[in-house]
Amino acid sequence: MEGGASGEGGASARDGAEPGAGQSREQGERSGLHSHSAPQLGVWFLDRFCPCGSDTAVLAQPPPPPPPSRAQTFSTPGRGSSPSRRLGNVRGAAGPPSPPGRRARPPAPGAGRLSGAAREELRRRLLGLIEGHRVVIFSKTYCPHSTRVKELFSSLGVDCNILELDQVDEGASVQEALSEITSQRTVPSVFVNRVHVGGCDHTFQAHQSGLLQQLLQQDPAYDYDLIVIGGGSGGLSCAQEAAVLGRKVMVLDFVVPSPRGTAWGLGGTCVNVGCIPKKLMHQAALLGQALTDSRKFGWEYSQQVRHSWATMTEAIQSHIGSLSWGHRLALREKAVTYVNSFGEFVEHHKVKATNEKGQEVLYTAAKFVIATGERPRYLGIPGDREYCITSDDLFSLPYCPGATLVVGASYVALECAGFLAGLGLEVTVMVRSVLLRGFDQEMAEKVGASMQQLGVRFLRKFVPVEVQQLERGLPGRLKVVAKSTEGTETIEGIYNTVLLAIGRDSCTKKLGLEKIGVNVSEKTGKIPVNDEEQTSVPYVYAVGDVLEGKPQLTPVAVQAGKLLARRLFGGRSEKCDYVNVPTVVFTPLEYGCCGYSEEKAGEVYQAENLNVYHTLFWPLEWTVAGRDNNTCYAKIICNKLDNDRVIGFHVLGPNAGEITQGFAAAMKCGLTKQLLDDTIGIHPTCGEVFTTLEITKASGLDITQKGC
């Protein structure tokens, strides 16, 4: 073990990237100090929370900034060669202590060659001793080097647990076992916070370089500084940022296949079954519209243009594959351990990770982030799980869905309905009550109307009660029975595909949260957090869609995750700002918004204190294309009492996503109506319409566009 500190740190970094169960166990054994920690964990726990432990303070407030430059500490002469290694944190670089194999599993039976059980028992006791105490010195009373070391710790005012090998019965056996663990045959043999510092010379060297003091300050180590459960946008961003800040991080990600058997790789909803494939299918549908337009712009092709679902889906899936692979690479580059297993808390600071084959491994960490997101909800009616699909299945569907019934009025429902119609399919949307609940309702109705113009059929105020299969096939034929929400009327419809988009449920049920006392909202299944994303259990945090009352958007999760990691490990204090988060619904006519809906603004500020400016507009590109001149709509909501500050921004039109972003930035900077008026438009764009808004709703003036 002598001088092996940094080298072993490197090994553990490598190991970290390849956490295959069997292999890492072996490496854990080899590296010696793997802990058979299950029996001792209770002791640790007590240690950690006893008054002298520093961890309580850490939990109560953001940790102090790390030493300005850890790396420099390691680059002191004679102390290894890993100053720049990201994983080169104290434990990683300074010694062999916590390779990934350092997991709570009983030692492999018969690992020892000699006296089997007895030997194993001794070994376990030794490790227990090492792990259970801050400083352990294996010494001999007559050894001058041992005396020097003991004097050193005593001069530092540090209490030590000292085992005098010449005073105990099994001293020789202990020394032998110890040499197996550390490959150091001599005494003294010094352990500080589970790190094997070495003999007398090494201990003094460590003292001189400052490493010893650092080790002394450390908490008893867990396997990881941070375990993130969920490899989606928020989880990955948090994990990577923490790794960049020098922490040892693990990501547990496991996709439970949908009832239809669809599963996917790393990256979470956005990459696999959300934003990315959705926007690409939206783009495919827009191209269909472009093809129609292009004839008017002089492009001449006579053939009937057909759309191939398979070509599109294969192209999109191949892009997703590359993204998922990119995420794997990014984790590897940052030395984040990725384990494709389902994580579940079994006790404090400890999760059980279960892989596809049902193999279980336990991991411990100082901090946890829950970022498991959500999955589509099912109706709970006969036939729904058997015959219906959700957005989890749609984007990789191996066949064209054909005539489709979309159930729901969420943005997911409308977006899917929109692009399916744009691809030429017959689409019906069944809506229980309002469209796009939570969004500005005037805008929502306009979105619906624009979809109707494209041929999407809406069945309002109906809910499905049964789905029957009439015919198997790809797609088959399904009969849907629905009943009115207002009366007793029932209707039936025949569709090839039924897509449920009625909402999403948080993935919080099987995480074992109750075992450690993390509060989960009974009603929503979501996790309430404070403004630092901290749950009811201080060392457990949550980001992304599992959060209660926060926007469910990729960039929000990314930002929240990143800032959380910086607060936890980077000494920063900036919190995620959930105010004025812009968002866009990628319906065929895109709807972008930022800030308040008109309804919400009215509730908060009273309608009489608001100026609502609005106009219909006609994108220049639509003129020649002969598209309707009174469909696109722009609206801002201003607070009269606050200098006509813009508190709500809404736009329905092409490229709403690209338009809204900059305005959101401007709202962050305190946008007022006056500033809008003072800003010069870019001509001819759609965005410029916001610089010339003149008509308030209160005035009742006509906003329709007349010809041009």
- Using rule CB under 8 A, residue 679 touches another protein: yes
Question: Which of 51, 684 has the CB closer to another protein?
Answer: 684
Cis peptide upstream of residue 77 (ω within 30 degrees of 0): no
Instruction: Specify which residues 187 forms β-bridges with.
Output: none
Query: Which of 468/692 has CB closer to another protein?
Result: 692
Residues 121-160 that bind another protein (CB under 8 A): none
The answer to the question of residue 323 lying near another protein (CB under 8 A) is yes
Residues 421-440 that bind another protein (CB under 8 A): 423
Residues from 565 through 594 that contact another protein (CB under 8 A) = 577, 581-584, 592
Among 34, 348, 650, 683, the one annotated catalytic: 683
Tell me if 662 contacts another protein by CB under 8 A. yes
Q: Is 661 in the site for another protein (CB under 8 A)?
A: yes
**Is the Cβ of residue 93 or residue 671 nearer to another protein in the bound state?**
671
Q: Any contact of residue 695 with another protein (CB under 8 A)?
A: no
CA separation for the pair 656, 644 (Å, rounded):
23
Among 655, 695, 696, 697, binds another protein (CB under 8 A): 655
Site for another protein in 460-499 (CB under 8 A): none
Instruction: Provide CB contacts within 8 A for 315, sequence distance 6+.
Output: 280
Is 404 a residue that touches another protein (CB under 8 A)?
no
Peptide bond into 99 cis (omega under 30): no
Place of tokens 């410029």: 688
Q: What is the dihedral of CA 537, 543, 548, 551, to 10 degrees?
A: 160
Residue-by-residue DSSP string for 639-689: EGGGTTEEEEEEEESTTHHHHHHHHHHHHHTT-BHHHHHHSPPPTT-SGGG
Task: Give which of 427, 539, 597 is closest to 48, Cα–Cα.
Answer: 539
Per-residue x/- marks for another protein, 593-622, CB under 8 A?
Answer: ---------------------------xx-
The reply on whether position 675 binds another protein by CB under 8 A is yes
Using the rule CB under 8 A, which residue among 453, 469, 623, 699 binds another protein?
623
User: Other CB atoms closer than 10 Å to residue 24's CB: what's the count?
Assistant: 23
The question of whether 327 is a catalytic residue gets the answer no
Residue 308: CB minimum distance to another protein, A: 4
Question: Taking CB under 8 A as the rule, does residue 308 contact another protein?
Answer: yes
Per-residue interface string for the shown chain with another protein, residues 160-199, x marking contact by CB under 8 A: ----------------------------------------
Residues 269-298 that bind another protein (CB under 8 A): 270-271, 275-276, 279-280, 283-284, 287-288, 290-291, 293-294, 296-298
Determine if 319 is a binding residue for another protein (CB under 8 A).
Answer: yes
Strand 189-192 versus strand 195-198 pairing type = antiparallel
Parallel, antiparallel or unpaired: strands 360-370 and 224-229 = parallel
Q: 652 — alpha (psi -120 to 50), left (phi > 0) or beta?
A: beta
| Residue found under tokens 């566009």 | 705
**How distant, in Å, are the alpha carbons of 25, 43, 96, 204, 411 from that of 88?**
22, 27, 12, 21, 45
Q: Which region, judged by CB under 8 A, interacts with another protein, from 144-152, 185-193, 310-318, 480-488? A: 310-318
Closest CB to another protein among residues 147, 679:
679
Nearer of residues 219 and 658 to another protein, judged by Cβ: 658
Cα dihedral angle (72, 78, 81, 84), rounded to 10 degrees? 0
The residue within the footprint of another protein, chosen from 84, 113, 300, 704 (CB under 8 A), is 300
- Options 138, 264, 309, 411; binder of another protein; rule CB under 8 A: 309
* For residue 684, cis peptide bond before it (omega within 30 degrees of 0): yes
Q: Which residue has the tokens 């002394």?
A: 216
Nearer to another protein, 198 or 582 (CB): 582
Cβ proximity to another protein, 397 vs 520, nearer residue: 397
16-75 residues near another protein, rule: CB under 8 A: none
Query: Do residues 27 and 101 make contact, with C-beta atoms less than 8 angstroms apart?
Result: yes
Q: Which is nearer to another protein, 164 or 688 (CB)?
A: 688
Strand, helix or coil for residue 405: strand
Beta-carbon contacts of 130 under 8 Å, excluding residues fewer than 6 positions away, are 33, 136, 191, 194
Which pair of tokens denotes residue 342?
A: 């389902």
Shortest distance in whole angstroms from residue 657 CB to another protein: 4
Q: Mind telling me the catalytic residues? A: 683
